[in-house]
Structure formats: C-alpha cells, structure tokens
Chains A and B, each alone.
Chain A
C-alpha cells in the first residue's frame, strides 16, 4: 500500500491516468445517479434496482452489437426499450409502492433487482461482456497514459444526454409537470395534472437514463448480470452525498466517486475496490449525520 503511494509521488504521470479514468467513468455514474435522484425526489421511491437497470441497458447494447448494430446506434434503441420497460415496471410494481413507507420501496425494488439480474443471467450467461465499439486507443506522454477514444466519446454522449434531460425538465410541459408534482403532489393534482401519468413517465425516464448509462458503461468498462448491486450502491453514494434536486452536486459527487474509486483500486489493490465503494457509502451517511448534528430528521 505504501509502495503504491510512493509510486504515485515518484511517477506523477500515473496520477493523470487515474484522474482521467476516474473522471470519465464518474460522469456516467453521475448520469445514473441523476435518475435515482429524480425518482427519489419526485416519487419518494428508493430504487435498489437502479444498477440492474444500468446493466440491462448495457446488455441491450451488447446484444445489438452482436447482431451487427454499432453501439452508438444502439444507444437510442436501448433508451426507447428501457423507457418502455420502465413504464411496464411502473404499472406492475412501482405504483403500489409510492404511497407506502420507505422500507417497502427498498425491498420491492430489491426483489425487482433479483428478477432482472437472474433473467439476464438466464438469457446471456454469467460471463463478463464488453461491447466492442472499434475506436482507436491513443497513448500520450510517451506511452505513460493511454486513452481510448471511446471513453472520450462516452463522456461527450453523457454530457449531451444530461443537457437534453435538463432542458426537457426545464422547458417541456411534462418536465414542468414532474417538477410541480415533486413540490406538492396534491396541489399538482388540483391544478389538473394527471399525477399517475407523471409518476409513470418519471420512472420510465429514469429507466431510460439508466439504460443510456448502461450502454456507455458496456462500451468503456465491463458488464455482468450480477454487477448491478455495486452500481446501485454507487448511485446511492452520489445521491446521499449530493442531496436531492441538486444537479451540480450530483455531477461533482459522481466525478469525485469515479476518481476516488480509481485511486482506492490503485492504492489498496483491486480486491478492495468494491469495499471502498461500500465503505464510502457508510462514510457519507455518517458524515451526513454529523453535519445534521442534533437536528432530528422527522421519520417520514
């Protein structure tokens, strides 16, 4: 461990590699976390299946690329499919959970996560997969830093998607209805907003966002049916650290998590990378508790 830290100070260029990788993957974490913040903020549903929706999107892209569709063309297809999937899941499960206590949504979405990961396992097998995008890998600083073009493209796509979502939320009728419902569902209902439809749309939108994040992750990283839980935990870390309805916070926390994870993996060793993510979750919760001090949060 100490050797690894010494290595980082002796060869500072390694930091560039870690930072770069961390920021690029962190942007995608932030995208998925924004979806969680949306569902949490609007419908008060804590979605433990978030990561599994991400992995599902990744598998759609992977399957399409096996059929010969380039993953960047697969992205819109995955978004549409995942949107439809989210809509169906809403009507089957989520709509019964909204009015219930917080624990119900955690457990019900956990059951959903179990079903999704097992169906993916049955359909595609437990092997680790990666979607080939066929872009070049370039090296910088005399080969000390490698950078795949696809990572940069993924970052741009994530930024474009985020811009589209933010614009949509701000200016479209549906986006305004979603924000109104988040503020006060009863008042929104009185004003003639069909809140049921808003909830359905919100969950479907979250599912589509996750799907898009999954496509990007399958291109620059790896996917496997059982990786969903760690992506869910990442989303929870980011949202808990940033708070709800705080887009800049989500982006910063997402990038920070990406970088922190890369450094933890390098310094502590790959076998503790998963641990560092979960430990970060506990740490964030504890810090949040200390920051709130003695101010009691009412049990909702």
Chain B
C-alpha cells in the first residue's frame, strides 16, 4: 500500500489527465484496494465485483479532468464507485424477483459478541444479503445516505427503502446468530 497525501494526488491527477499509462497504473494501485472493498460490498459475487471495479475505474479515468479541488479526491472517487454500484443495482433489479422474508422473529444481538466480528466477517455477512437489502443497507448504514436520497437514486419509494433497511438488519442478525451457533 502506497501512502499518498493530498498534495501527491494533485500531481498524479494532472498526469492522469494527460493519460500517462504509468500515472494511471499508480493511481489504480493506490485506489484499487479501497474501491474494491466498496465493490465487493455491493456485488453479488466476485465476478460482478471485478466488473464493477473495472467499470468504475474506466469512468474515473474518463472524467478525471472534471474533478474540481473542492473536496477530497478519494471522496470523489468513492462517489463514482458508489454510483457505479447503484447503476449495477438498477440493472440487476430488472432481472431479479424480490425476495420477501415474512415473520422474521425480532431479536437483539449482544453488542459484545458483535464487536468480536472483524471486517472480513462482516464483509462476508453483507455479501449473503439479498441484492435489495444489501444495497439499501450499504447506502444507509455505511455510506450515510438518507432514505430520501436512497429512494431517488434507486428509483424506489421512501417507505420501500425504510422497510428494506429494516429487513436487512433482521436478516443480518439472523445470519450472525446462525454463525455464532455453529
């Protein structure tokens, strides 16, 4: 992992605007692990995650000249990848049927038990969620979008967003409990 501070980014960015392959490769190497983590969270399998990270980087390099030095470059890049993932959700949504889970019992999980879970475990758990729950939970809990924004971005109603989030939490708890029992 190469450490780059904000100043170093600006020189890489200008080189990338000139489409210099070396700079592009360097930027890819710096950003890829973080961005791949995002893609993995949204994708249904590793093949899709690979597609997503490639799509995202193609967009990033295409639009890199439009980056204004208003916020952090990483934040801007992240937004591109999240938008790519949202688009991916929309495409998938056309194909797949909704998975409904009824009568899931409510339970709360001991926070101590939760804190033992590491990022890798949580990543695996999130990947087990159905597409719709996963996307809404990612956007709400991790990316910090509001229900209004999620509804607008995903083309669903605010109430759907809320219920999907609710069900996502239930589902996650169920998965975690199952894992603990094993």
The answer to whether A and B belong to the same complex is: no
